[in-house]
Copies of this chain bind each other. A is one copy, B any other.
Amino acid sequence: MRNLLKDKKLSETPFRKEVLEVFGNYSNAISMSVIEKGLKDYNRITLYRTIKIFLEKGLIHEIALSGEPSNYALCDSTCSSELHQHQHVHFKCTLCETVTCVEVAEFPSLHLPNYQIEQLEIQASGICKVCLKKE
Protein backbone atom coordinates (compact mmCIF):
# COMPACT_ATOMS: atom_id res chain seq x y z
CA MET A 1 0.00 0.00 0.00
CA ARG A 2 1.18 3.43 -1.03
CA ASN A 3 2.08 6.05 1.53
CA LEU A 4 -0.10 8.90 0.43
CA LEU A 5 1.32 11.44 2.84
CA LYS A 6 4.96 10.87 1.97
CA ASP A 7 4.13 10.77 -1.73
CA LYS A 8 2.62 14.23 -1.52
CA LYS A 9 5.36 15.56 0.77
CA LEU A 10 3.17 16.04 3.78
CA SER A 11 4.30 15.32 7.33
CA GLU A 12 2.99 12.08 8.68
CA THR A 13 0.96 12.86 11.75
CA PRO A 14 -1.32 10.51 13.67
CA PHE A 15 -4.31 12.68 12.87
CA ARG A 16 -3.69 12.79 9.12
CA LYS A 17 -3.23 9.04 9.08
CA GLU A 18 -6.50 8.63 10.93
CA VAL A 19 -8.33 10.83 8.45
CA LEU A 20 -6.92 8.80 5.58
CA GLU A 21 -8.03 5.63 7.36
CA VAL A 22 -11.56 6.95 7.46
CA PHE A 23 -11.47 7.47 3.70
CA GLY A 24 -10.07 3.97 3.35
CA ASN A 25 -13.05 2.57 5.21
CA TYR A 26 -15.38 3.69 2.46
CA SER A 27 -15.57 2.74 -1.18
CA ASN A 28 -17.69 5.81 -1.86
CA ALA A 29 -17.25 9.53 -1.37
CA ILE A 30 -18.01 10.90 2.08
CA SER A 31 -19.19 14.14 3.60
CA MET A 32 -17.53 16.15 6.34
CA SER A 33 -19.98 14.83 8.90
CA VAL A 34 -19.22 11.23 7.95
CA ILE A 35 -15.53 11.93 8.35
CA GLU A 36 -16.19 13.45 11.76
CA LYS A 37 -18.17 10.44 12.89
CA GLY A 38 -15.35 8.18 11.74
CA LEU A 39 -12.75 9.92 13.90
CA LYS A 40 -12.11 8.93 17.50
CA ASP A 41 -11.51 12.48 18.58
CA TYR A 42 -10.76 15.56 16.63
CA ASN A 43 -10.22 19.28 16.62
CA ARG A 44 -12.60 20.99 14.22
CA ILE A 45 -10.01 23.50 13.04
CA THR A 46 -7.32 20.91 12.47
CA LEU A 47 -9.80 18.84 10.51
CA TYR A 48 -10.64 21.79 8.26
CA ARG A 49 -6.97 22.44 7.69
CA THR A 50 -6.34 18.79 6.99
CA ILE A 51 -9.09 18.58 4.40
CA LYS A 52 -7.87 21.81 2.84
CA ILE A 53 -4.31 20.64 2.46
CA PHE A 54 -5.40 17.21 1.23
CA LEU A 55 -7.37 19.00 -1.48
CA GLU A 56 -4.50 21.29 -2.37
CA LYS A 57 -1.98 18.48 -2.59
CA GLY A 58 -4.26 16.25 -4.61
CA LEU A 59 -4.85 13.50 -2.05
CA ILE A 60 -8.58 14.00 -2.19
CA HIS A 61 -11.03 15.78 -4.45
CA GLU A 62 -14.23 17.58 -3.66
CA ILE A 63 -17.56 16.68 -5.16
CA ALA A 64 -19.80 19.73 -4.95
CA LEU A 65 -23.51 18.95 -4.79
CA SER A 66 -26.49 21.21 -5.18
CA GLY A 67 -28.39 21.78 -1.99
CA GLU A 68 -26.23 19.67 0.26
CA PRO A 69 -22.72 19.58 1.68
CA SER A 70 -19.84 18.52 -0.53
CA ASN A 71 -18.49 15.02 -0.50
CA TYR A 72 -14.85 14.07 -0.64
CA ALA A 73 -13.04 11.09 -2.09
CA LEU A 74 -9.48 9.88 -2.42
CA CYS A 75 -7.80 10.81 -5.66
CA ASP A 76 -5.89 8.33 -7.68
CA SER A 77 -2.13 8.67 -7.88
CA THR A 78 -2.20 10.84 -10.99
CA CYS A 79 -3.51 13.85 -9.08
CA SER A 80 -1.21 16.56 -7.80
CA SER A 81 -1.25 20.13 -6.57
CA GLU A 82 -1.10 21.23 -10.18
CA LEU A 83 -3.92 19.20 -11.66
CA HIS A 84 -6.72 17.01 -10.55
CA GLN A 85 -7.27 14.71 -13.48
CA HIS A 86 -10.19 12.36 -13.13
CA GLN A 87 -11.58 10.26 -15.88
CA HIS A 88 -14.47 9.12 -13.80
CA VAL A 89 -18.08 10.03 -13.24
CA HIS A 90 -19.62 11.11 -9.97
CA PHE A 91 -22.76 9.18 -9.36
CA LYS A 92 -25.29 10.13 -6.73
CA CYS A 93 -27.87 7.49 -5.88
CA THR A 94 -31.34 8.88 -5.32
CA LEU A 95 -32.23 5.92 -3.09
CA CYS A 96 -29.30 5.36 -0.74
CA GLU A 97 -27.92 8.88 -1.25
CA THR A 98 -24.33 7.67 -1.61
CA VAL A 99 -21.98 9.41 -3.98
CA THR A 100 -19.55 7.21 -5.84
CA CYS A 101 -16.65 7.76 -8.20
CA VAL A 102 -17.39 5.45 -11.11
CA GLU A 103 -14.69 4.53 -13.58
CA VAL A 104 -15.94 4.55 -17.12
CA ALA A 105 -14.57 2.82 -20.21
CA GLU A 106 -14.74 5.82 -22.49
CA PHE A 107 -15.17 9.18 -20.90
CA PRO A 108 -17.65 11.29 -22.90
CA SER A 109 -16.24 14.16 -24.88
CA LEU A 110 -17.89 17.40 -25.76
CA HIS A 111 -17.39 20.16 -28.23
CA LEU A 112 -18.85 23.62 -27.69
CA PRO A 113 -18.50 26.04 -30.59
CA ASN A 114 -16.57 29.15 -29.49
CA TYR A 115 -15.55 27.64 -26.18
CA GLN A 116 -12.23 26.04 -25.38
CA ILE A 117 -12.88 23.16 -23.04
CA GLU A 118 -10.06 22.14 -20.76
CA GLN A 119 -11.84 19.91 -18.31
CA LEU A 120 -15.09 18.03 -18.07
CA GLU A 121 -16.83 17.00 -14.91
CA ILE A 122 -19.79 14.70 -15.06
CA GLN A 123 -22.31 14.09 -12.35
CA ALA A 124 -24.90 11.45 -12.89
CA SER A 125 -27.78 10.61 -10.63
CA GLY A 126 -30.12 7.66 -10.54
CA ILE A 127 -29.97 4.23 -8.94
CA CYS A 128 -26.65 2.75 -7.92
CA LYS A 129 -25.64 -0.86 -8.47
CA VAL A 130 -26.15 -1.77 -4.82
CA CYS A 131 -29.70 -0.45 -4.77
CA LEU A 132 -30.49 -2.00 -8.16
CA LYS A 133 -29.68 -5.45 -6.79
CA LYS A 134 -31.92 -4.99 -3.78
CA GLU A 135 -34.98 -4.24 -5.86
User: Using a CB-CB cutoff of 8 Å, which residues 95-129 of chain A contact chain B?
Assistant: 102, 104, 108-110, 112, 114-129
Q: A62-B67, A66-B62 are in contact. Are A119 and B115 (CB under 8 A)?
A: no
A1 at the interface (CB under 8 A from B): no
A94 at the interface (CB under 8 A from B): yes
Shortest CB-to-CB span from A93 to chain B, Å, is 9
Evaluate contact between A126 and B119: CB separation under 8 angstroms.
yes
- Bound together, the chains give a CA A70 to CA B68 distance in angstroms of 11
Name the prevailing secondary structure of the A interface residues: strand
- Bound together, the chains give a CA A9 to CA B135 distance in angstroms of 37
Evaluate contact between B128 and A115: CB separation under 8 angstroms.
yes
Q: A65-B64, A66-B62, A66-B64 are in contact. Are A124 and B112 (CB under 8 A)?
A: yes
A29 at the interface (CB under 8 A from B): no
Complex: chain B residue closest to A61, CB-CB: B66
